[in-house]
Amino acid sequence: MFFFLVTAVGLFRFRSSYARLHIAGKCLTGGALSSILAYLVVAPRAAVFARLVIAALLLLFTNALGTHAIARGAHHTGVDIDTLESNSMEGTPFDPRRGPR
């Protein structure tokens, strides 16, 4: 839960889109891996243990590669690091600034 909380705080705290991508990639990987590690301790069978190890390795590699590919693509296309995309829900009943009805 610590890693997930750090991710949520980091997404609001950091201004740069690259910094947000970094915090999301690192902390969510750590959170998911810690959850998998907790279940590895109580895995009932060796087959479940092996599947969890494979899932952890896949998560570790694919998340790092995915965040790198997104950041590299954003850099090559010239995405401004200080601007975020506008709110696509603005003006709809689901606009978060309007609050619940």
Domain ranges for the chain, please list them.
2-77
pLDDT of residue 82: 67
- Name the region of 99 (left: φ>0; alpha: ψ -120 to 50; beta: rest): left
pLDDT of residue 58: 94
pLDDT of residue 57: 93
pLDDT of residue 86: 59
Q: For the chain, list residues with pLDDT below 50.
A: none
SS3 (DSSP) at 53: helix
pLDDT of residue 73: 87
pLDDT of residue 44: 86
- Residue bearing tokens 């606009």: 95
